[in-house]
Copies of this chain bind each other. A is one copy, B any other.
Amino acid sequence: MSRGAPTISPVSTMPTEKSSWAAQAADALSAAGYRRGGARRAILELLDEQSCALSAVEIEDALLARKREVSRASVYRVMDELEEIGLVQRVEIGQGMVRYEPVRGGPGHHHHLVCDHCGRLEPFTDDGLERAIRRLSDRLPLRVSEHEIVIHGACETCASG
């Protein structure tokens, strides 16, 4: 699967934060009543460095590689906590796979493109799509959740190959 993050239509990241995402996240966790454990810290640091979404297995492997091993259970636990507080977003990329993406400051509402060949994940925003979904949720007998939309296809590289 892919690594790296050649973002082509990036979300306006509204950056220039004085404290790192990891620090903010740690504070938010404290505020939510969680203590500061080793597993949490290691995971937060890793996520903060990554610019693209990681799967639980990738997180586990990456931490193992840098000799800060964290158990699988902890990865899932921490990701659940972070999602609950809104610090990471689950992205279901299909085939039962989930990636976790740090939510950084700003409005940041966006959706994702998944390349079904190489697994690459691209965030994007689109007002037209947003409008369409808003109208939909008025018209339909379903309260649309905040969950993002995942569009599948073939990325440039894979489409041409």
- Report A's interface with B, CB cutoff 8 A: 8-9, 92, 94-97, 113, 115-116, 122, 124, 126, 128-129, 131-133, 135-137, 139-145, 147, 149-156, 159
Contacts and interface: CB of A to CB of B under 8 A. Distances in A.
Contacts of A147: 152-153
Given A96-B96, A140-B124, A133 B145 contact: no
A149 B94 CA distance: 11
A136 B126 contact: yes
10 contacts: A8-B141, A9-B139, A92-B94, A96-B97, A113-B140, A126-B139, A128-B131, A143-B153, A144-B152, A149-B149
Copies per assembly: 2
A84 B149 CA distance: 24
Contacts of A95: 92, 96
Given A143-B153, A149-B149, 8 more contacts: A126-B135, A128-B131, A129-B132, A129-B136, A142-B159, A143-B154, A143-B155, A145-B153
Contacts of A153: 137, 142-145, 147
A151 B144 contact: yes
B140 A9 contact: yes
A156 to B, nearest CB: 5
B129 A133 contact: yes
Given A92-B94, A149-B149, A141 B155 contact: yes
Contact of A128 (B116, B135, B151, B152): B135
